[in-house]
Amino acid sequence: MRPYFAISILFLMYGCFSTPERNCSDYRTGTFTFEALIGTEIETTTFVRNDSIEIDYFRGKADSSSIRWINDCEYIVKKINPKNMAEKKAVHIRILSTNKNSYTFEYGIVGGDSREKGTAVKVN
């Protein structure tokens, strides 16, 4: 009787740790918003993405980046016309989970150790 009890407990524990939903292809294109704490204020960025180009709108200015998809849930973003050395660095983005109208992601400079997390909301 004990082996059956132990197996039942294992199945119950496994059921509690489901993997997050990742329908990444739903977020390859569209218009999105992203809020970030910059200094002491929350700033909003709007970006429009098609399969290979992303246009960011931040503080009334537009900036274009190229996108190279690594797989369905990961891509590299690189500024098309960088204005300084920091903007020349590519950013690796990995979608961690998705839901009805948003996705959670982590991002960092390609080759860097630091990673940040954020949530983007699809507005159309």
Residue 5 lies in a domain: no
103: containing domain:
20-122
Neighbours of 61 (CB within 10 A): 7
Residue 82 lies in a domain: yes
User: What's the pLDDT at 23?
Assistant: 87
Residue 7 lies in a domain: no
Residue 13 lies in a domain: no
Residue 90 lies in a domain: yes
User: For position 30, which CATH number holds?
Assistant: 2.40.128.490
CB 96 within 8 A of CB 118: no
Residue 86 lies in a domain: yes
Mean pLDDT by 10 residues, the chain (124 residues): 52 54 89 89 93 93 95 96 92 95 94 92 91
Q: What does the chain come to in residues? A: 124
Residue 29 lies in a domain: yes
For the whole prediction, is pTM greater than 0.75? Answer: yes
Residue 8 lies in a domain: no
User: What's the pLDDT at 4?
Assistant: 53
Only one residue has tokens 């294109």, namely 29
Backbone angles phi, psi at 25, to 5 degrees: -60, -25
**Two structure tokens written together for 57:** 């709108």
**Two structure tokens written together for 105:** 């992601």
- Cα separations (Å) of 66 from 33, 41, 50? 18, 28, 10
| Total structural domains within the chain | 1
**Two structure tokens written together for 35:** 């809020």
